[in-house]
Amino acid sequence: MTDDLKTQRDRYIAFSLAAADLLIEADSDFRIIRTIGATQALLSGLGESVVGRDVSDIFIPIDRAFARHLFNRAKTIGRIEPCGLNLQQAEGPPLLVNMGACYLGTGEGSTFISLTVLSDGVVAQTTADGQAGLLDLDAYLGFATRKIGVRGETAPKDMKLVRVAGLSQAMRQLPKDQTDLLMGEISSVLRAQAVGGSAAARLSDEAFSYIPSAKGQGASPEVISRDIRAAAVAAGLPENSLSPSVLNLELSTGNLDQDSIAKALQYVLSDFCRPERSPISSLAQGLKSAMAETVQHFDSIRALIDGDKYTLFYQPVVCLADRTTHHYEALLRFADGRAPFDTIRLSEQLGLVQDFDLAVARKAIETLGRHEGATIAINLSGLSIQGDQFREHLRQLLGGAGGVSQRLMFELTESNAIEDIEAAATFLRWLQRTGYRVCLDDFGAGAATYTYLRHFDVDFVKIDGPFLKEARDNPRQRALVRSVSHLCRDLHTEVVAEMIEDDAMAALCQEMGIGYGQGYLFGKPKPQIDTPKPLVVGKRKGFSESWG
């Protein structure tokens, strides 16, 4: 009989170690009683040396509160689904492990924990907003869309939307160590309920969301609210200073395709971030609202273009050596005061940016007709130049303009990635052969600009303002900007610096080899042009008047 029990024990241990790298038994206070498996490799110590340690302390600090919530949850419901946590290492980066936990409720009241190292084991914390393991809105949208699109029993049935009224005010009042504690506890409450411990997000200052397990073992809204209020008290806030509320979003997708799911989900989550709006209860309702709002936005932007309800403001770009105006950048302003950047991004999503780019080009050409000595640069969306119809319309517009080729420039923006690089490069070469100069806008804001510089033979590169500002205090950044300047010089490409606001920055730009500047130091955008003296514009190497 003894041999049978020993054999059975060994068999269970073998099964467990086949599924995990380390097994841990913890007492009722969650202190380690014993370990089996790769103790030294994963916990940097022999089995005897880790006995008595709080088991949550084996994880990185940001995951410890989360681990405690999982252990308590296992003690309440008996077993948790495996969740991803980051295991602290004495040397090197943390290891991402899958942690399972089981509580039998017999004997000494032990909790049995399994740890399995995932993939290569090296993990970077997936926190786009730096808040205790919570995803940001964009990352959560991508994750949730993929998860919702799965069919079958594992598909989530609902999504929880959590609003914590009073949180933003509390975060302003508390010192940093207490805000870190508060956010860590709130994150732990939500992640402990989420699929895999990772399907939880902070959507805005007071809005959160998570996808619960499809097995229906989630805590009630009352329990979630109670735990968040308890976290506030633990962080030093008065009782009832936070008012949590939990809403349910029905995820029945019916016949919705992946694109429709993504559109509906984006609308619902973005809408939930606005507390003045009535909450949406299902994806179907969210899609209907999203479609109605899309039509409204489309009509609104179409009316702006057709009704000429926008103006161009002009900001000077100067030669840093003598502060003379080289050209003006045309910037959109709307009669109703709406934000230009958001409107252009929305017009890209709605397929209207090509119409906007053509309309701005017409208005800039009209302005050049009234100011013979001026040169104007207009933005050109990467999305626009990918369209055959747009390219043909722009050719026709420029062909009828007459005499502006040396005074009209195009700034290629990166707000929408260019997929057909060769077609875009061919069109840009045509612009340059016809006499128009091309500028690569916002260099340093994204990885695509480096690809564009490799493929597009541009006349100017404009360095992104925030990218440039870091150079003021960061020697590494200064070296990087200086190397870009030297590269552009070798390519016979001029460099423009954005957002120059004082003489010190202007001097630094010159020291780094930048020839041109734009910013409030030289002039704010305004609706009229102070016509400069006529410029003699040198032709680029290889310039040709023919279409070739």
pLDDT range class, residue 331, cuts 50, 70, 90: very high
> What pLDDT, in 10s, does the model give residues 209-232?
998 876 666 788 898 999 999 988
Q: Does the pLDDT of residue 121 top 60, yes or no?
A: no
What residue type is assigned to position 214 of the chain?
Answer: A
Co-location of 286 and 148 in the same domain: yes
113 membership: H or E segment, kind and range = strand 111-122
Q: Does the pLDDT of residue 543 top 60, yes or no?
A: no
Average pLDDT on 398-416 reads: 84
Co-location of 141 and 106 in the same domain: no
In a domain, 490, yes or no: yes
What residue type is assigned to position 328 of the chain?
Answer: Y
In a domain, 146, yes or no: yes
> What pLDDT, in 10s, does the model give residues 518-540?
999 999 999 988 755 444 444 44
Co-location of 265 and 319 in the same domain: no
In a domain, 301, yes or no: no
Q: Of 122, 154, 187, which residue sits at a domain end? A: 122
| pLDDT reported for residue 445 | 62
Co-location of 316 and 458 in the same domain: yes
Q: Which residue has the higher pLDDT, 89 or 375?
A: 375
Cβ contact 103:72 at 8 Å: no
What residue type is assigned to position 359 of the chain?
Answer: A
Lateral strand order in the sheet of 207-210: 200-202, 207-210, 158-165, 243-250
Give CA–CA dist 148/209, Å, rounded. Answer: 14
490 membership: H or E segment, kind and range = helix 475-490
- Cα–Cα distances in angstroms (integers) from residue 528 to residues 181, 313, 496, 521, in the given order: 53, 7, 22, 18
Which residue in this structure is represented by tokens 């440039």?
A: 468
Co-location of 464 and 369 in the same domain: yes
In a domain, 548, yes or no: no
- What SS3 state is found at 393? helix
| Gyration radius of the chain over CA positions | 30
Q: CATH no. for residue 8? A: 3.30.450.20
Co-location of 331 and 422 in the same domain: yes
Co-location of 110 and 239 in the same domain: no
Cβ contact 246:208 at 8 Å: no
Co-location of 510 and 440 in the same domain: yes
- What SS3 state is found at 300? helix
Q: Percent of the chain scored above 90 by pLDDT?
A: 24
Which residue in this structure is represented by tokens 């949406």?
A: 280
In a domain, 525, yes or no: no
> What pLDDT, in 10s, does the model give residues 135-186?
888 888 888 877 776 655 566 778 888 999 999 888 888 888 888 888 888 9
Co-location of 26 and 141 in the same domain: no
In a domain, 435, yes or no: yes
Structural domain for 512, as ranges: 308-518
pTM of the model: 0.55
Q: Does the pLDDT of residue 299 top 50, yes or no?
A: yes
User: Per the structure, how many domains does the chain have?
Assistant: 3
Among 111, 113, 112, 110, smallest CA distance to 97 is for: 113
Give CA–CA dist 167/245, Å, rounded. Answer: 12
In a domain, 539, yes or no: no
pLDDT range class, residue 484, cuts 50, 70, 90: confident
Average pLDDT on 59-67 reads: 86
In a domain, 537, yes or no: no
pLDDT range class, residue 131, cuts 50, 70, 90: low
Q: Which residue has the higher pLDDT, 303 or 49?
A: 303
Co-location of 350 and 318 in the same domain: yes
